[in-house]
Amino acid sequence: MALLDIEGVSVSFRRARGWFGHERTDVIQNLDLSINEGEIVAVVGASGSGKSVLAQAIMGILPTNAKLEGRISYNGEPLTTERQLHLRGEELVLIPQSVSYLDPLMKVGRQVQPVIRDSGRKRRFMTRSHMKKTEQELTERYQLPRGTGEKYPFELSGGMARRVLMATATSGQPKLIIADEPTPGIHPEVLAETMRQFRELANQGAGILWITHDVTTALTAADRIAVFYAGANVETAQVDDFTGNGERLRHPYTKALWNALPQNGFQPLQGSQPLAGQEITTGCSFALRCSSATVSCTRERPQLRQIRGGEVRCLHAT
Ligand code: SF4
């Protein structure tokens, strides 16, 4: 049984149109993905492919104009709104993209304290010894200057605030970590340390969904890579599949991403991803950019298939 199971999930947003009308914009379409205990799954793809919306859907923090369809299960049970509320901040944590998630009115040290339950209510440890331990951890593990715990978020640089976000999310015993682009602007040494911490948490049994546009770093730390394109996972591959000219990869877009890396010849992919809401009538959303496209690719929408130990949405993958 997977720790997190996402089956046929679609997310759309309702927007006003004209004076009285409205329209729906599809951002994620029919997504399937699973994460096991002890596993790091990196979700990679261009901006606008639906990666961050997926994080919000799992955490239960989608905007009110969003509509979610499909099924998300955690530990074999549906991840309902009530369960999300109960688990969030304890077993289920988010390392968000924006540092604005930090409480601007609370000192950093207090925000990093693990959440505990007291008579059913969530609160944070506040004892002197915990505060001292936190200060030590911020200095040694996250390489923040001594005294950071006594500062407010507005007194931190962007890179420092990101490290505090990491510390906040991982201070308890999380079982499922959703990390949404947690590393931009982080010093390479701290990046390496972050990756080491992810692995340490995974070795302790946590599942980690790591959203990133940095394929190279993802390949150094993840177990599997899920590739997003236009709101769907077009391939899920083992890290070892990313080798040579990409001949072990299954989807033309994944191969293009791999071959666009500087170390692989920097071969750019022409064209751009369809915008959210841009209508892809019946065929493959990648057809206009795909050098392997055939007539059937414009008529039939590829479904997710298991091939060679991975998953792919391509009619012609073998
Ligand atoms: S289904 Fe066709 S267009 Fe889509 S990725 Fe496969 S070969 Fe290319």
Q: For 18-57, how does the pLDDT look when each residue is reduced to its tens digit (9 = 90+)?
A: 777 788 888 898 899 999 999 999 999 888 778 889 999 9
Distance from C-alpha of 258 to C-alpha of 250, rounded to nearest angstrom:
12
| Six token digits for residue 50 | 């639906």
**pLDDT exceeds cutoff 80 at 17:** no
CATH fold label, 37-63+84-91+173-312: Rossmann fold (3.40.50)
Judging by DSSP bridges, how do beta strands 66-74 and 121-124 pair with one another?
Answer: unpaired
- Cβ of 246: how many Cβ atoms within 10 Å? 20
Q: For 139-173, how does the pLDDT look when each residue is reduced to its tens digit (9 = 90+)?
A: 777 788 888 888 999 998 888 888 888 888 877 78
Beta carbons of 244 and 300 less than 8 angstroms apart: no
**pLDDT exceeds cutoff 70 at 278:** no
| Six token digits for residue 175 | 């079982």
Q: For 90-148, how does the pLDDT look when each residue is reduced to its tens digit (9 = 90+)?
A: 899 998 877 788 888 888 888 887 655 555 666 555 566 666 777 777 777 778 888 88
Model pLDDT, residue 281: 62
Pocket lining for ligand 1, CB < 6 angstroms: 251-252, 284, 286-287, 290, 292-293, 297, 302, 314-316
Ligand 1 pocket: which of 255, 305, 314 to mutate (most atoms within 8 A of CB):
314
Beta carbons of 66 and 13 less than 8 angstroms apart: yes
**CA 264 to centroid of ligand 1, rounded, Å:** 22
Residue 21 phi/psi, 5° resolution?
Answer: -90, 175
Model pLDDT, residue 10: 93
Ligand 1 atom index nearest CA of 291: 8
Ligand 1 pocket: which of 255, 257, 282, 290 to mutate (most atoms within 8 A of CB):
290
Beta carbons of 36 and 3 less than 8 angstroms apart: yes
Model pLDDT, residue 119: 59
Cα distances (angstroms) measured from residue 17 to each of 23, 25, 68, 274 = 6, 11, 21, 21
Q: What is the average pLDDT value for the chain, to the nearest integer?
A: 87
**CA 296 to centroid of ligand 1, rounded, Å:** 9
Question: What are the boundaries of each domain within the chain?
Answer: 37-63+84-91+173-312, 105-172
Q: In degrees, to the nearest 5, what angle opens at C-alpha 20 toward C-alphas 15 and 23?
A: 30
Nearest CA to ligand 1 atom 3: 287
| Cα dihedral 140, 146, 152, 158 sign | negative
Torsion of CA 169, 172, 177, 180, to 10 degrees: 0
- Cβ of 188: how many Cβ atoms within 10 Å? 9
Nearest CA to ligand 1 atom 5: 314
**CA 257 to centroid of ligand 1, rounded, Å:** 15
| Six token digits for residue 48 | 């606008």
- Cβ of 28: how many Cβ atoms within 10 Å? 26
Ligand 1 atom index nearest CA of 300: 1
Ligand 1 atom index nearest CA of 287: 3
Distance from C-alpha of 236 to C-alpha of 177, rounded to nearest angstrom:
19
- Cβ of 20: how many Cβ atoms within 10 Å? 6
Has this prediction a pTM greater than 0.85?
Answer: yes
Q: How many CA atoms lie less than 13 Å away from 266 in the CB half-sphere?
A: 2
Ligand 1 atom index nearest CA of 315: 1
**CA 138 to centroid of ligand 1, rounded, Å:** 48
**CA 256 to centroid of ligand 1, rounded, Å:** 13
Distance from C-alpha of 26 to C-alpha of 10, rounded to nearest angstrom:
8
Beta carbons of 250 and 312 less than 8 angstroms apart: yes
Q: How many CA atoms lie less than 13 Å away from 163 in the CB half-sphere?
A: 26
Ligand 1 pocket: which of 228, 229, 270, 297 to mutate (most atoms within 8 A of CB):
297
Ligand 1 pocket: which of 284, 300, 303, 307 to mutate (most atoms within 8 A of CB):
284
Measuring CA to CA, which residue among 158, 138, 154, 157 is closest to residue 146? 138
Burial class (CB in 10 A: 0-12, 13-18, 19+), 180: buried
Measuring CA to CA, which residue among 77, 79, 97, 76 is closest to residue 87? 79
